[in-house]
Amino acid sequence: MTPRRWTVTEELDHGQTPATQGSRIDAYVDRYAARATGMVASEIRALFAVASRPEVVSLAGGMPYVTALPLDMVGELVSDLVTRRGTVALQYGSGQGDPHLREQICDVMRLEGIQAGANDVVVTVGSQQALDLITRIFIDPGDVVLAEGPSYVGALGTFAAYQAKVVHIAMDDQGIIPESLAQTIYALETAGAPIKFLYTIPTFQNPAGVTLNMARRQQVLDICQRAGVLIIEDNPYGLLGFDGEPMRALRADNPDGVVYLGSFSKTLAPGFRVGWALAPHAIRDKLVLAMESAVLSHSSFTQLAVGQYLATQPWREQIKTFKELYRERRDALLDALSALMPPEVSWTRPAGGFFVWATLPEGLDSKAILPRAVAERVAFVPGTGFFSDGSGARQMRLSYCFPEPDRIREGVRRLAGVIEQEIQLRDTFGTGSTRGHIGVDTPGPDLA
């Protein structure tokens, strides 16, 4: 039986259409603070509405495959926690986070060469909250944040919410290009623009899937140290490498110049919402105060649950299980791309993490192609959502973390068919589909 087709515009109109939401039904549309104008739904959010149907192969979302966790064990662990330590687990905790968990976090970070004391760790509601707190304590409207181009859409949303101006640093398949970083810092300093920090995801980057090589790590550290630019190293995927030992973190070689953000979302489960920031003392103090003003304290319950998991379960083995599973899916995606994509399409080859970054031929626009792709039952994230300056029109993020290998192959087959048709359109009419008809907002340069 042929599945029923639908149009993306039809689907979005049944959900919340971000572009029209405010003006049609929001009586307070002219009362918001200026910073709220930067808060627009990302491409990913709008996509989830359409791509969550079972017949769509979603290469869009970055959801960890929690099905691979022994859920019975988690259930027992949580039940045991309430029975044995319920009065602590269900009570308020400290703003900095559970001291024992902070010790355990230091053990985890040691795998990436980081020597740190629990006193410098702040437990946060996922690393997303750490990003929010860092931005809150450093950014005044108009301040400059440097970030890879492309960069993590959730970080760009946070920077936009605090009215930062994001300046992208060029990267290639070895990560940030040091010369580009140095030149950009020099140009901004010469223009008198205050740079508050460099935000980077050096290992298995989201969305590009690339990793900053060892030689460049030292160069990036040196450039930032010389210029007095703080580095925010966001590393949720660092332990999910497919070959060899984990990469040495930037923080391992400059404890005073780097704030390191970590997370249990990808190595355990995002539902616990446990992440952390490791920061130099003075910054740590500010983070704790910001944390208290945001949420008083993190959930004691989930912190103790994660602590219990680390203390009693073979968590390194679990990470190995995740790595094997994601490696198989990465291989399925790369093999299918090689076998099926038109020759003009190129893509990165991640050595870990969740994402491949693909580039379409000249004249094609990934955002314009998306409705056609979804009608063909495959979804991806268009590249423009990963930039603050409107770049990325020819790019798309393909994630392999969630669908099973067969589904990945089928998704690529469908996507390749759509791209082939777009290339034919371009060759006939000089351009592929025109863009802008799905009503999804992206952070633009004047919002960041």
Q: Min. distance of Cβ 28 from ligand PLP in angstroms?
A: 29
Q: Min. distance of Cβ 330 from ligand PLP in angstroms?
A: 16
Q: Is 133 in the site for ligand PLP (CB under 6 A)?
A: no
Q: Min. distance of Cβ 155 from ligand PLP in angstroms?
A: 6
CB contact at 8 A, 166 and 156: yes
Q: Is 234 in the site for ligand PLP (CB under 6 A)?
A: yes
d(CA 363, CA 360): 8
Q: Min. distance of Cβ 124 from ligand PLP in angstroms?
A: 8
Q: Is 411 in the site for ligand PLP (CB under 6 A)?
A: no
d(CA 153, CA 150): 9
Tokens encoding 376: 């063909």
Q: Min. distance of Cβ 266 from ligand PLP in angstroms?
A: 8
Contacts of 18 (CB under 8 A, 6+ apart): 40, 41, 45, 46, 439, 440, 441
What is residue 352's DSSP assignment?
Answer: B
- Of the two residues 40 and 123, which places its CB atom closer to ligand PLP in the complex? 123
String marking each residue 268-297 x if it binds ligand PLP according to CB under 6 A: --x----x----------------------
CB atoms under 10 Å from CB of 230, counted, come to 20
CB atoms under 10 Å from CB of 64, counted, come to 21
Q: Is 302 in the site for ligand PLP (CB under 6 A)?
A: no
- Of the two residues 63 and 82, which places its CB atom closer to ligand PLP in the complex? 63
Place of tokens 């497919």: 242
d(CA 206, CA 357): 9
Q: What is the CA radius of gyration of the chain?
A: 22
Of 439, 129, 72, the residue nearest 270 (C-alpha): 129
d(CA 63, CA 48): 11
Q: Is 233 in the site for ligand PLP (CB under 6 A)?
A: no
d(CA 442, CA 389): 9
- Of the two residues 148 and 365, which places its CB atom closer to ligand PLP in the complex? 148
String marking each residue 45-74 x if it binds ligand PLP according to CB under 6 A: -----------------x------------
Q: Min. distance of Cβ 156 from ligand PLP in angstroms?
A: 11
d(CA 94, CA 79): 23
Which of 150, 154, 382, 385 contacts ligand PLP by CB under 6 A?
154
From 124-132, 139-147, 168-176, 246-254, give the range in contact with ligand PLP by CB under 6 A: 124-132
269-304: b (≥16 Cβ within 10 Å) or e:
bbebbbbbbbbeeebbebbbebbeebeebbbbbbbb
Task: Report which residue's Cβ sits closest to ligand PLP.
Answer: 126
The strands making up 381-382's β-sheet, listed across from edge to edge, are 346-347, 355-359, 395-399, 381-382
Q: How many residues does the chain have?
A: 448
Q: Min. distance of Cβ 61 from ligand PLP in angstroms?
A: 9
Which of 40, 46, 89, 152 contacts ligand PLP by CB under 6 A?
152
- Of the two residues 297 and 433, which places its CB atom closer to ligand PLP in the complex? 297
- Of the two residues 62 and 371, which places its CB atom closer to ligand PLP in the complex? 62
Contacting ligand PLP within 241-270 (CB under 6 A): 263, 265, 270
- Of the two residues 42 and 128, which places its CB atom closer to ligand PLP in the complex? 128
In which element (H, E) is residue 260 found? strand 258-263
Contacting ligand PLP within 183-202 (CB under 6 A): 201
Give the interface with ligand PLP as residue ranges (CB under 6 A): 62, 126-128, 152, 154, 201, 206, 234, 236, 263, 265, 270, 275
